[in-house]
Structure 1
């Protein structure tokens, strides 16, 4: 997740605000995810595109909402997300499944309203966010270094016991947690407000 210029960051944030405000106005269940969610939660800006998590049954309505807001939409071959592009081809991913686990209403309900670039949007719970980052790790996609700065920035917001429980099925994700533990990133005590978290 390399750094970007202020111009690129500002452009992505503009796309985020346009898409997020449109979805919010229509009452669609969604939460900000990915690098933009990390940024909203205090990480340094390192933004490539805009990611939203949403319930699969809301996908058609979300796509139509973005079409009416001026976005070009597409359904790629992957069966876990759809895409929208603004007039400058900046990408918005609408994600409804991660590693065969559906995004659920409960997961969306755990999000927190956070002021993001002067717009209040639901942002994925930090524990859920970290899980969405590390669960997809595999022998073909296992870049610990790019994730480390984002995870480190969120460390005190995360229920690490819950992360360990969920990702225990993945040797790649579990090994990343071992690295985080050795580096002192993974906090031994979960945040009190996240004590009853479930995923998804």
Structure 2
């Protein structure tokens, strides 16, 4: 609620964003994306509201806790800064009885695949989400956005072979 009240552009992202669009229910933390330009203000806003806010070693996010649940507030995706233009690709959806912006399935899948690397490339974890939201995704756009990532290209090839994409 603090993000909604702040008027700072944000959107539900990650596995919960995919879940809000019909993907499998995740069992871990919630991800929200904000613009990198807003990161300091949002950090201070959440801390000012009495929420525990933690800066982990990773410099692309910070974490907060709401009713015991960990929430990642992400302001960079990979090496790319998140800018406010990303939130134009979000839709206002009802998530657990709360209206909030949720990134498009295309953006969510592009981020999910773009994050794959040698240490994190579990196709089995991503495949059910891709199958569930496949009709909402512009797979050509995902391919364009992830063209430099060999793991993403391999996963997209698998989706093509399985007639998902």
Same fold (TM over 0.5): yes
- Give the distance between the partners of 2:104 and 2:90, measured in 1 at CA: 5
* Alignment gaps of 5+ in structure 2: none
Q: Give CA-to-partner distance per residue, 1:21-63, whole Å, 9 cap, x none.
A: 2101110110000111111111231231110011011112212
Q: How far 1:151 sits from its partner (Å)?
A: 1.4
Q: Give the strand-richer structure, 1 or 2.
A: 2
Aligned to 1:140: 119
- RMSD over aligned Cα, in angstroms? 1.3
TM-score, normalised with respect to structure 2: 0.94
Aligned to 2:163: 184
Aligned residues: 165
Aligned to 1:51: 31
Equivalent of 1:80 in 35, 60, 63: 60
Q: Give CA-to-partner distance per residue, 1:45-96, whole Å, 9 cap, x none.
A: 12311100110111122122322444210111212111112352x2111111
Q: 1:112 to 1:87 in 2, by over 3 A?
A: closer
Q: Is the 8 A contact 2:51 2:64 kept in 1?
A: yes
Q: Which has the higher contact order (CA 8 A, sep 6+)?
A: 2
Q: Is the 8 A contact 2:37 2:83 kept in 1?
A: no
Aligned to 1:104: 83
Q: Give CA-to-partner distance per residue, 1:90-113, whole Å, 9 cap, x none.
A: 211111111211112111121100
